[in-house]
Structure 1
Amino acid sequence: MKTLIFFSRKFLIRNLCVSAAFLIGTVLFISTAWADFTFVHRDLQTGIYSNANSMISFRYMRHIWTSNDGAMAAVVQQGGYEGYGLVLFNTLDDGLNWAAEVEISEDTQVASDGIIDLNNDILLVTSLLGDGDDIVNVNFVRLTYDPISHAWSKDLSAQTTVFRSGRKFRATRATIAEDSNGVLWSAFRLKNSVSGIFQIRVYYSEDGGTTWNDSGNSFGIRNYLADKSVKVIAVGSRIAIIYNDVRAKGSIVESFKAWAYREDSQALDDGWNKKYFAKMTTADGDPYGSHWSVAADYSGNIHLSYEDGGIRYIRFNSGTDSWEPSSKMTRQDWHYSSISVAPNNDIYLLVRNSDGTKVMGSMYSYASQSWGEWAAVSSQSYSGYLRMSSPERFIDYMPVLYQIQQNPPYGLMYDLFR
């Protein structure tokens, strides 16, 4: 058994500052022009590498957070690179230098989703992303923040199992959120390995993650189609799940976006309100059910970007308590997305461009209720997937990680801007 390792900051720090001219992208759906993004750092090499194709997957999962005193953390699956699995990296200088701080899991296959709480602790769930053929538990980990050293460490007393996978039931694609009462919620995809049926389940913890209970609620159409995925999210005084569901209609497979929610005042095992709100319109709409990102703003609105013949955007309006019609944001050959909320409720949407060489961004102004032009976030051209990860909410400037290289080891680039 490999022991818990705290890496030498001097040994691990590798960085490269790159400067380049700012490039404005093609205006698509957007009409209102804003000033260029303001960058603190741009096209920095983090020195973080991985053998795992899914080092910061999926899009709807969160992998980077900032404490309220300015420290930043990112959790990356290194896939056995230099012998490591799921690792937390941190930076104390806005991302100029990154250091590996703690190995969360030796498993080189698991992915994670996490939140940062009011104490700056990072609460994670880990699970597999695949179709449930392997037996791996959904586990909970608390990473405790030290405000003196500005470092995170694994709380050895707070490592618990949310769901224990076995020969019959196998859980994957887990996510986590905390409601206004401090109750933790985890939603995940569950496969019955005997029948082959997939569904979505939700568990909760009233004691900070020490024990977990089945809410008794299941979501999605019970069928053999694996492209189900779910993100649990706190929305004001509600806890909600946004999920991708699929069904077969003859020889055609149809994909939908759906949601369900409960009021925080309800009993924990009460039923949830459920509704489908967006049907995919193209045959390859949201491949694998994982190409979407969701964030809740400070007014109780929900913002969702998803792939369906290009990137589309849809908003839940808390004022009308309903989902508005979706808008097509990009042409068909733009892929992946990550959506984030600024302190003033402005929305930042990141997307990979048509030739797969740049990360593009657009900002929605809450004050004027309109989108700005697309502009390049990454100033250079890169090869690889350019999958990106940004926080659900950020404090001042928005950090973003994006994955480069066609073949392993994959690298992470970093930008900080607004």
Structure 2
Amino acid sequence: MQVEAIAGGVRPSRREAMALLGAAAAAAGTWWPGTAHAAVPRIQAGFTNLSSDSDRIISYRHQEHLWQTADGAFHLVMNRGTLTPGPGLCLYSSHDGGTSWSHQWTFLGTDTDSVSDGQLAGDLLSVLYQTVTGHLVHQQLRYDAAGRGWTVERDEMALVSDATAGINPGMAADALGNLWCCFVARDRITNDVQLRLLVRPAGATGWSDTGVVFGPTDRRSIERSGRPVPIAGGMGIVFTVREMTYWAQRSDTQALDAPWDVTTVFAGTPAFRTTDPYASHFSVVADDAGSVHLATIEENRMLHFTRDAATGRWSTSGILLSGTKKLAYGQNCIANGRLMVAWSVQRGFGNLVESTDGGRSFSETAVLVLPANADGVSYGQARVELPTRCSGPLLALQQYSDNGVVRLMRFLVPQR
């Protein structure tokens, strides 16, 4: 069943849209909580040495912060807040499955509010982040597996403007080597905000503004985010403006400043956005066949959509989780060639589900069991973080608060 909105057409009501999702899930055989299912492993949480005094330790959900290199090591960009090493954004590495982490690099000019996005290609990590002054910086770091360390190969400004502050960047490279950055641009005088697009053309010496704007320009709210993702023959972007989720795409044959084709993927509930102040509670990953998978939170439901690489059409496998009032955070990834979706809840446990048929159906992989409640411990901001791609055991990190210190726990899910 296709769930598509036609630009300029009539959108289904929220009740009709949710009925479509439920029908699609039932037809596809999607796993639903509360139904009979085979016993699955219960993965107990372990503790790490990662801590911060910033609640943006691994913000935002549509961005990538965790990667695995070919030697099996995991690497994380996190926000240390005002702590040292730091302050602000830092790169950490783990060579024992995510238990212990060593500080590798501090991204200068960042503070407790800075967020980043990154892409790993082989042993080259590209990170794009916002600074204290509202600039956007692009750094590339090279990993040395033998020495277990990183060296900086490129350090450049992607956006420097007295008129515009850059916020909330998302970045990806297309097949031609062009780097694309979708970010929130805030006018420093009027406070108007819009989603803008930067590009670093392959072989160029720097970044430029394409002039392309996604969605409206207004000061009603900052609620908008964009996630670039490469597709066959071009580039796509999943972007949100408040309760709306859109898809934009371009061809490699178009000029770098040409307009993108935009369609609507999903219309959410306006009142629900109060729990998602940056409209960033979604995650996007492309599988090995080139299909794009979108996991998003809507009214305490985890929803899943797929753009088929062959047809270019979006469809849904429905609601992966329903009826949990504390559901707020989730993420998807490709682990051992399989599509995985994990989510956290604020009490008791979270879940990990997988698909072996390109996102048409899902089955439960593991129950992620949180530690018992302790004095001063809160799971109220239980962000979950997965590597974009990994092989072997899957590492999942989850945020929690321990007597005022923000920490990350770990779940290591064995390969099946």
How far apart are residue 78 of structure 1 and its match?
Answer: 0.4
* 2:143 is the counterpart of 1:111: no
SS at match of 2:390: coil
Task: Give the Cα–Cα distance (whole angstroms) in 1 for the partners of residues 208 and 35 of structure 2.
Answer: 48
| Contact 1:138-1:165 at 8 Å conserved across structures | no
Give the gaps of 5 or more residues in structure 2.
1-30
**What does residue 343 of structure 2 align with?**
351
* 2:112 is the counterpart of 1:95: no
Choose the corresponding residue for 2:142, options 133, 141, 144: 144
* 2:185 is the counterpart of 1:190: yes
Change (3 A) 1:290 1:188: same
How far apart are residue 392 of structure 1 and its match?
Answer: 1.9
**What does residue 10 of structure 2 align with?**
none
Change (3 A) 1:404 1:137: same
How far apart are residue 216 of structure 1 and its match?
Answer: 2.3
| Contact 2:180-2:199 at 8 Å conserved across structures | yes
Choose the corresponding residue for 1:293, options 275, 283, 296: 283
Identity between Structure 1 and Structure 2 (%): 22
Task: Give the Cα–Cα distance (whole angstroms) in 2 for the partners of residues 316 and 367 of structure 1.
Answer: 10
How far apart are residue 343 of structure 1 and its match?
Answer: 4.0
Change (3 A) 1:406 1:71: closer
Choose the corresponding residue for 1:362, options 353, 361, 369: 353
Farther off after superposition, 181-190 or 229-238:
229-238
SS at match of 1:56: coil
SS at match of 1:284: helix
SS at match of 2:369: coil
The aligned length equals 371
**What does residue 320 of structure 2 align with?**
329
Code of the aligned partner of 1:81: L
Code of the aligned partner of 1:154: V
**What does residue 262 of structure 1 align with?**
250
How far apart are residue 372 of structure 1 and its match?
Answer: 0.9
Q: RMSD of the TM alignment (CA)?
A: 2.5
Task: Give the Cα–Cα distance (whole angstroms) in 1 for the partners of residues 310 and 158 of structure 2.
Answer: 35
Change (3 A) 1:406 1:292: farther
Task: Give the Cα–Cα distance (whole angstroms) in 2 for the partners of residues 47 and 235 of structure 1.
Answer: 37
Give the gaps of 5 or more residues in structure 1.
1-26, 129-133, 247-254
Code of the aligned partner of 1:263: S
Choose the corresponding residue for 2:393, options 393, 397, 403: 397
Code of the aligned partner of 1:162: A
| TM-score with structure 2 setting the length | 0.82
Map of 1:212-361 to 2, 5 A cutoff? 212-224=207-219, 225-246=221-242, 255-281=243-269, 283-285=271-273, 287-288=276-277, 289-310=279-300, 311-325=302-316, 327-330=318-321, 331-333=323-325, 334-344=327-337, 346-353=338-345, 355-361=346-352
Task: Give the Cα–Cα distance (whole angstroms) in 1 for the partners of residues 129 and 200 of structure 2.
Answer: 16
Change (3 A) 1:241 1:368: closer
Task: Give the Cα–Cα distance (whole angstroms) in 2 for the partners of residues 200 and 212 of structure 1.
Answer: 16
How far apart are residue 318 of structure 1 and its match?
Answer: 2.0
